[in-house]
Amino acid sequence: MKRETTEIRQEQIKKALLELIAEQGLHNVSTRNLAQKIGLSEGAIFRHFQTKWDIVKGIMDDVDEVLITKLRDIVISPIRAEQKMLDYLCTNIKYLKENLGVTILLFSEATHLGDKELKDKLSQILSEQKQFIIKIVRQGINEGVWDSNINPEDFATIYIGITITFNIEYVLNKSKLNTDNFCKRMYFIILKSLKK
C-alpha cells in the first residue's frame, strides 16, 4: 500500500470510522475492523491517533472547522435572508450526507461516555448553529419578509430537529428515505412557517 502523509491517513481513518458507524452501529466498531476497512494494521492507526477518543475528537474538530466555518460564511454574507436560509440548509444537509454517521457518533460519544471535553465541544457546535439560525430569522424579520411574531430561538430549535432527524433517518433508512430535493422540500416548509 502506498505510504500516505499523516494528514491523508488521519482523514482516511476518520472517514472510515464514520462509515463503519453508519453501516454497523457504534457498538460494533473496533480498531480491528477500522484497520481492515482502510487496509492498515491496528498499530498503524495508533501511529496517527493515540486513542479512539483522539479519532472522535478529530472528527469533532472537523465539524467545527469545516461545517461551522461554511455555515458562518453564509450567515455573514450580504445576501437576503430567504436565500441565506436555503444556502444554510442545503450546506448543512450536504455535509451530513457526505459525513454519514457524524451526528450519531458525536451524540453517542458525548452523552453515553460522559467525556466533558466532547460534551463541551458538542454544546458549542450546537449553540453556534442555533445562533446562526437566530441571526438569519432576525434578518428576515428585519427585512419585512418573515412574521415578527416568530420566536427566533424556538425556530432555531425546530431547524436543528430537521437536520438531526435527516441524519438519523439517512443512517437508518437510507434506501427508503427520499433525499431527492430534500433541502428544497424542507426549505418550502420553513418558508411557509416564517412568512407573514
Q: Which residue has the higher pLDDT, 43 or 99?
A: 43
Which cell numbers in the block locate residue 177? 428515505
Dihedral sign for Cα 171, 60, 129, 108, please: positive
**CATH no., domain 52-194:** 1.10.357.10
Pairwise CA distance, residues 177 & 175, whole Å: 6
Residue 126 has pLDDT above 70, yes or no: yes
Pairwise CA distance, residues 46 & 124, whole Å: 28
- Going from N- to C-terminal start, the domains of the chain cover 1-50, 52-194
Give the pLDDT of residue 88. Answer: 98
Give the pLDDT of residue 174. Answer: 72
Give the pLDDT of residue 114. Answer: 67
Dihedral sign for Cα 120, 122, 57, 115, please: positive
Strand, helix or coil for residue 39: coil
Which cell numbers in the block locate residue 95? 455535509
Q: Could you tell me how far CA 195 lies from the centroid of its own chain?
A: 27
Contacts with 166 (C-beta within 8 Å, 6 or more apart), sequence order: 93, 96, 182, 186
Pairwise CA distance, residues 93 & 59, whole Å: 17
Give the pLDDT of residue 30. Answer: 87
CB-count burial class (<10 Å; 0-12, 13-18, 19+) for 150: middle
**pLDDT tens for residues 10-39?**
999 999 988 888 777 777 788 899 999 999
Q: Could you tell me how far CA 169 lies from the centroid of its own chain?
A: 14
1-50 CATH pick, 3.30.420.40, 3.40.50.2300, 1.10.10.60, 3.50.50.60: 1.10.10.60
